[in-house]
Amino acid sequence: MGGTRARTARYALRGGIRRSCQPSARNRPNPHPHTDHRADPLRLSERLRHAVLSQAARRHDRAPILDFGIRMSTSRSIFKSATSAPEAARDALAAVFAEELLVPSKTVHLLAPWISNIVIFDNSVGSFSGLNPEWSRREIRLIDVLVTIASNDTRLVIRVRPDNHNKPFEKRLVSALTDSGLQDKCDWRESGTLHTKSLLTDHVLIAGSMNFTERGISLNEEVVTLDFDPQHIAQAKMEFHDHGI
């Protein structure tokens, strides 16, 4: 695959885990120095690519929002509701996360007032096991994906509101990261004034009105923009830094 092999992504839903992720420590050295995944071009196997695009095609007649590695423009917009392209946002997230797992970023920012453990991939027939061989044939949810991202030596920066809705997700994520020895890869903080809803990687900025919840991704009327412009991504990183994110 061009990246480092993902470490174990199993997690247990248990209590008693400390409340927040530890601040990120200094990045560990690449255990495979001759296969630096950050320098590799996007290399998505045809089987994985076909799986995501076929999954999208089954849900709506038009072409998928995002085609791996084939970006006809630097920006795409999704307008969705429960009756109009309800799964378009999930398809786009699946594509973005698949790219992230194959070509890891140094840091992934996830900002939203509310976050839930939403389904990202349908791995019921093993179509996405190539992204992480530890994944069983089941629905792969956001926590599974975030743990696998962290196992690629990527720092997770997560910002939410101090709301009870987010507590179960935080507890499960911390437990999952701790089980894999990755708790130092996550920086989780709460902000009572947070309204931004964004996912920022080294490759794409996703922004709009959508929370990363089941209602946000499937039911509510939302607009989401995917921006692949390197200058816009760099600008977003600077703005996040200036705001202490």
Query: Could you please report the per-residue DSSP string of 120-177?
Result: EEE-TTSTTTTT-TT--SSEEEHHHHHHHHHHTTPEEEEEE-S-GGGHHHHHHHHHHH
Say what the pLDDT of residue 192 is: 93
**Per-residue pLDDT, 8:** 38
Does the domain formed by 43-242 have CATH 3.30.870.10? yes
Tens digit of each residue's pLDDT (9 = 90 or more) over 77-107: 888 877 777 788 888 899 999 999 999 999 9
**H or E element in which residue 225 lies:** strand 222-227
**Backbone φ, ψ for residue 103 (5° rounding):** -130, 80
Residue 109: strand pairing partners: 157, 200
Q: Specify the pLDDT at position 40.
A: 36
pLDDT of residue 14: 33
Task: Give CA–CA dist 198/224, Å, rounded.
Answer: 9
Q: Which residues of the chain have pLDDT under 50?
A: 1-20, 23-46, 53, 56-72
Residue-level pLDDT at 17: 34
Q: What is the pLDDT of residue 244?
A: 83
The reply to whether the predicted model has a pTM over 0.85 is no
Cα(4)–Cα(239) distance, rounded to whole angstroms? 30
Q: Are 107 and 155 contacting, i.e. CB atoms less than 8 angstroms apart? A: yes
